[in-house]
Amino acid sequence: MSVLVFVEGLNGEIKKSSLEAASYGSQVAQTLGTTATAVAIGDVNEEALSKLGEQGISKVLYDGDSRLNQFVADAYVKVIAKAAQQESAKVLVFSNSNIGASIGAKLAVRLNGSLATNVTALPSINGADFTVTRGVFSGKAFADVALTADVKIIAVKKNSYEVSANGGTTATVEKISADLAESDFALLPKETMMQDLDGGVLLPEAEIVVSGGRGLKGPENWHLVEDLAKVLGAATACSKPVSDMDWRPHHEHVGQTGITVSPNLYIAIGISGAIQHLAGVNSSKVIVVINKDPEAPFFKAADYGIVGDANEIVPKIIEAARALDK
């Protein structure tokens, strides 16, 4: 029972969430007494692929077809399925990302497999029993799910598994081709709205996110969010009411009905913390809340909280961050 890990690239490098998936997959392979192979698609630096050996990957199958530089679900599924067939893979692992969500169900149908998304821990394997724990109800509960099909597909929740770094190990990189036809590109994305208007940090992939809400009082105060994000190298985001009032574009809306983020640091400025917003950010490793209302529900979910006026507090944080950067 070999393990196949799908890794995603961004600007030629491997996404951190995919490094987590690779580390997870290699640990599953070790438990099963087999090896882990990765499959990569599109614009990814081959040097970065070879470094996946540090995460326990022994081999990488790479399809560099330029048509795959842009995500196309049907074409990606065909390549991954070809890799799974070539490696006789019975366990497939990928990140529970936007791309992962798009291809997971398609792969399960194509390979007649069991699918578990939002997985938060390594599987419990006892003979034929293969059980995983996944987050449910927007992360408020967990469920143990048995994967009973011959092929088991696991989407690992971001920030739920640490990236391993063995060091000094190099994965071999081999070409793979799924003989893609024009029909595989029949459905092309017309536009993607994950990147901010200035071409900055991709919100779903950001390690640090600075987000603002109605507590900022108006779009004229949004410079507080942007200035802090700039000094921290962060992406900017907003609550749903802010996007509904057209203070900010809708692709910056974070929450249950918007984008889900899993940064190492999430800073919420003037956001009360409604349950719908929390559902989109509760995978963040550290949450910092700045709000002048001491009863704001967000403080209950925060790791650190500051009660006060954002117009007074945020400039001081920016000044301190700039001093550390010198």
Residue ranges of the binding site for FAD: 214, 270-277, 291
Q: Check if the beta carbon of residue 229 is closer than 8 Å to that of residue 252.
A: no
Look at strands 129-136 and 141-146 and give their pairing: antiparallel
Residue 47's contacts (CB-CB under 8 Å, 6 or more residues apart) are none
Residue 207, Cβ neighbours under 10 Å: how many?
Answer: 15
Query: Residue positions in the annotated binding site?
Result: 214, 270-277, 291
Measured CA to CA, the distance from residue 258 to residue 238 in angstroms comes to 10
CA distance 56 to 257: 36
Q: What are phi and psi of 293, to 5 degrees?
A: -95, 110
Pairing of strands 2-7, 89-95: parallel
Residue 239 has a CB neighbour count (10 Å cut-off) of 30
| CA distances to 91, 149, 296 from 129, in Å | 13, 11, 45
Q: Provide the token pair at 44.
A: 């990814």
Give me the amino acid identity at 84. Answer: A
Cβ-based neighbour number of residue 192 at 10 Å? 11
**Residue 125, beta-bridge partner list:** 130
The token pair at 226 is 């942007």
Q: What angle do CA 30, 35, 38 make, to 5 degrees?
A: 115
